[in-house]
Chain A
C-alpha cells in the first residue's frame, strides 16, 4: 500500500472523530429532551443514521457481488466482504440502540413489531453471509458462493420488509421533530456515515493485504498458473 494513502486515511479518521465529538457535544448541550421520554430518546439520533448506513453497506455487498460475477476479479470479492462485515456491525448497533430505546419507551427489550423483526432478519441474513463464506475452503468457490448469496440476500430485503410489516406494529413510523432535533439528527448523519465509509475502506484494505500475503506465501508451494486462474477465470 502506498504511504501517502495512510496520511489521507489518518486525516479522514481525524475528521470523522472531530465530527463525532461535535455531534456528541451538540447532543448534550443543545438538543432539547423529548417531552415524555426524557434524555433516553436521544439514542434515536444514533439509531436512525446507523439504520440508514446499514442499508448502504448491504447495497455495497449487492453491487460488489454483481461486480464479482461480472468481472471475476477478487477485488470485488474483497469489497463485498468488507461491506458485509460493516453491515453486520452497524445492524448490531441498530438492534442494540433500538432495544435500549424500546426498553424505556415500551418497557420491553423486544417485541415482534415490524421494524424490530426486519432488523433482526437483516442481521441474520448478513451474519449467515459471513459464516457461510468462512466454511468454504476453495478461494474461488468462496467468492462465487458469497456473490450469489449476496445477490439473493439483497433481493430478499424488500420481501423481508414487506413481510415484517404483516406483524402487529407499535414502532413509531413517522415522528414529528422540532427544529433543533432535526438539526441534531442531520448532524449525526455526518460522523456515522463517515465512520461507515472509513470502516469499509479499512476492512477492504486489510482484505487486500491479507490476500496479497497469502498469495505470496502460497506462490512458493503451488504452481503459479493456479493463481492466475483464480484471479481472472
Chain B
C-alpha cells in the first residue's frame, strides 16, 4: 500500500519534473485557457454574466484545457519509447494510472489557478462570498474529470487516434459533473444558503465510481 503510493508519487514527480523543465504543456494550456475565456467574453458581447453563466465560462475553459493536459502527459511517454520502459518497470499498471492521475490533477490545478483569476478579471466574477465552497466543488469536479480523462488519454494515445478525439470521448461522460457542479455553485452564489445535498452526492459518487473503474480498466487500455 505504502509502496504503491511511493511508486505513484515517483511517476507523478517524474512527469512534473519533465514539465517544470520543458514547460511544454503548461504554457500551451494556459494560453488556450485565456483564449477560450476571451472568446466567450467577446461572444457574450462584453456583458458581465451572472452566477450560472460565470461557472459555464469557467467550465468550458477548464474542460478544454484539461483535455489538452491529459493528452500531453500521455504524449510525453510516446517519445523515445518511454512508455515501453514504464510498462517494463516492475510496477502494477494501477500504480502507473495513479501517478498519471496525480500529475494531471496537479497540472489542472495549476492551469485553473491561472484561468480563474483571468475570469475574475475579465468578467468581474465575485467568488469572495464562498471561496472555500468554490474550491471544494471545483476540486472534486476536477478530480472526477481527471479520473476519466487519464484513462481515456491512455486509450486514445495507445490507439493512435486523431487529435481532438479525446475531448469527444471524455465530455459526454463528464456531463454529470458539469450539471452537479453548476447547480452547486449557482446555489452558492445566488444567496441560497441551503446545501444542495443530492448534487454533492452526484459529485462524490462520480469521483468514487470513476476512480475505481479507471484504475481497474487502465491495464486493458495501456499498450506500447
Contacts and interface: CB of A to CB of B under 8 A. Distances in A.
A166 B202 contact: yes
B198 A121 contact: no
Given A69-B220, A152-B217, A166 B173 contact: no
Interface in B170-224: 172-173, 175-177, 179-180, 183, 196, 198-199, 201-202, 205-206, 209-210, 213-214, 217, 220-221, 223
Interface stretch (B31-39, B113-121, B158-166): B158-166
Interface residues of A, number: 32
A162 B205 contact: yes
Interface in B34-91: none
Interface in A183-198: none
A178 interface: no
Interface of A: 69, 117, 121, 124-125, 128, 131-132, 135-138, 141-142, 144-145, 147-149, 151-153, 155-156, 159-160, 162-167
Query: Which are the 3 A-B pairs with shortest beta-carbon distances?
Result: A163-B176, A163-B179, A159-B176
B169 interface: yes
A144 B223 CA distance: 11
Which secondary structure dominates chain B's binding surface? Answer: helix
Given A162-B202, A163-B179, A148 B173 contact: no
Nearest to A141: B159
B220 A148 contact: yes
A165 B198 contact: yes
A160 to B, nearest CB: 5
Interface size class of chain B, counting residues whose CB lies under 8 Å from the partner chain: 35 or more
Given A149-B152, A155-B210, 13 more contacts: A121-B176, A124-B172, A128-B168, A131-B168, A137-B160, A144-B221, A145-B221, A148-B155, A152-B217, A159-B176, A159-B209, A163-B177, A163-B199
A151 to B, nearest CB: 7
A133 B169 CA distance: 11
22 contacts: A121-B172, A121-B176, A125-B173, A128-B169, A132-B165, A135-B161, A137-B160, A141-B158, A144-B221, A148-B221, A149-B152, A151-B213, A151-B217, A152-B148, A153-B172, A156-B176, A159-B176, A162-B202, A163-B177, A163-B180, A164-B176, A166-B180
Nearest to A69: B220
Contacts of B173: 125, 152-153, 156
Contacts of B199: 163, 166
Contacts of A69: 220
A151 B159 CA distance: 18
B168 A132 contact: yes
A135 B165 contact: yes
Contact of A136 (B159, B201, B210): B159
B179 A166 contact: yes
A162 B201 contact: yes
Contacts of B175: 121, 124, 160, 163
A197 to B, nearest CB: 26
A152 B159 contact: no
A44 to B, nearest CB: 26
